[in-house]
Chains A and B, each alone.
Chain A
Amino acid sequence: MIVGQQKPIEEIKKMVKPYKKLLILGCGTCVKTCFAGGEDETAALASALRMTFKIDGQSVEISQQTVERQCENEFIQEAAKKIGDNEAVLSMACGAGVQAIARRFPKSPVYPALNTTFLGVQESQGVFTEECLGCGNCGLGVFGAICPVTRCSKKLLNGPCGGSQKGKCEVNPETECAWQLIIDRLTALGQLNNLRTYIPPKNWKTSHSGGPRKLVREDHIL
């Protein structure tokens, strides 16, 4: 899922200051799962903003809606009426969702309520970890399904740096050493030999470093 967290309320207030009628638009998929932009968080932010604007003596009409996914036109469509009825949209989705709304509604100003942080998983209740950088050329098959591109602080592809201690990364001892995890897992799977294959320097062209990416599926285009 895409993991994000809400921006400070002060920053949000500055962005939406010019508007008197505001729609807070939640997203019921990734950002709901990371407790940042689902229905509950949308209602909580709406309530907090109504109160803080009232204290400031600013009269702002705030409404809220949550769609299943803000990154898909089919679901965005459900919010069309409310978007049209409001002066601006404060989106609780990831950056992709915010831009999907902007693309679909050229006349509506759209602002991000979240900082989109990473592609990750919920490791345990309330703890989210980054797992994938979307490099565009996945090597997980070699690494026992543990990504050194994302989870090794130095992005090393041919084994550990030698600085890890007790399984923790020397760059940040709060982080597991990805290479320790890879070696432990490959050992358990009897696949340690995978590491005999030399991995050449990564070609980052397939990643964001090659510029904005686009994926075209001819078989789904009419």
Chain B
Amino acid sequence: MGKTFKAKITLFHCINAFTERQSLSSDHVDVKVVKMPCSGMVSEVFLLKAFEAGADAVTILVCPEGACRYMEGNIRARKRMEKTQSVLDEIGVKGKRLTMHHVNATDPSAVERIVSGILGDLEELGPNPAAL
């Protein structure tokens, strides 16, 4: 399926992993950024609500493995993501729309690459069927 829609992405991030210096949105994509003190705060309900609010994809940016300031926040985030992916599969939204990426605050261009990777995936996945 070719992407013929303006994608909406919600990006949850830990403040230690990423700082939004300039908007990630463009003509092709609307990126909504939600910052958290630690990625471990992300919960199933926040992730589902992001899809319910219209996101075609949701991604969580976390610190590299072993580098979480609060020890295991990024591991918690992964577990919550996996649980939410299974709920998304169950309800027909597709778990693949939800991803997690380890990023290093010293490499800000990594996030641009992540967003364009998600846009590539959305060409296959199409728009969020629950947002139409």
Contacts and interface: CB of A to CB of B under 8 A. Distances in A.
Contacts of A55: 91-93, 129-130
A55 B91 CA distance: 8
Interface in A44-59: 44, 47-52, 54-56
A48 B92 contact: no
A199 interface: no
A41 B90 CA distance: 16
A8 interface: yes
A58 B105 CA distance: 44
Q: How extensive is the interface on chain A, given as a class?
A: 10 to 19
A50 B129 contact: no
A54 B132 CA distance: 9
Contacts of A80: none
A9 B87 contact: yes
A40 B43 contact: yes
A51 B91 contact: yes
Contacts of A218: none
A50 B52 contact: yes
A43 interface: yes
A74 B56 CA distance: 43
A55 B43 CA distance: 23
B49 interface: yes
A54 B90 CA distance: 14
B130 A40 contact: no
A113 to B, nearest CB: 13
A44 B45 contact: yes
B93 A47 contact: no
B30 interface: no
Contacts of B18: none
Given A40-B45, A44-B48, A10 B130 contact: no
Given A50-B52, A52-B91, A56-B92, 15 more contacts: A40-B45, A43-B49, A44-B45, A47-B48, A47-B51, A48-B48, A50-B130, A51-B48, A51-B52, A51-B91, A51-B93, A52-B92, A52-B130, A54-B130, A55-B130
Interface of B: 43-45, 48-49, 51-52, 87, 90-93, 129-130, 132
9 contacts: A43-B49, A47-B51, A48-B87, A50-B130, A51-B52, A51-B92, A52-B90, A52-B93, A55-B130
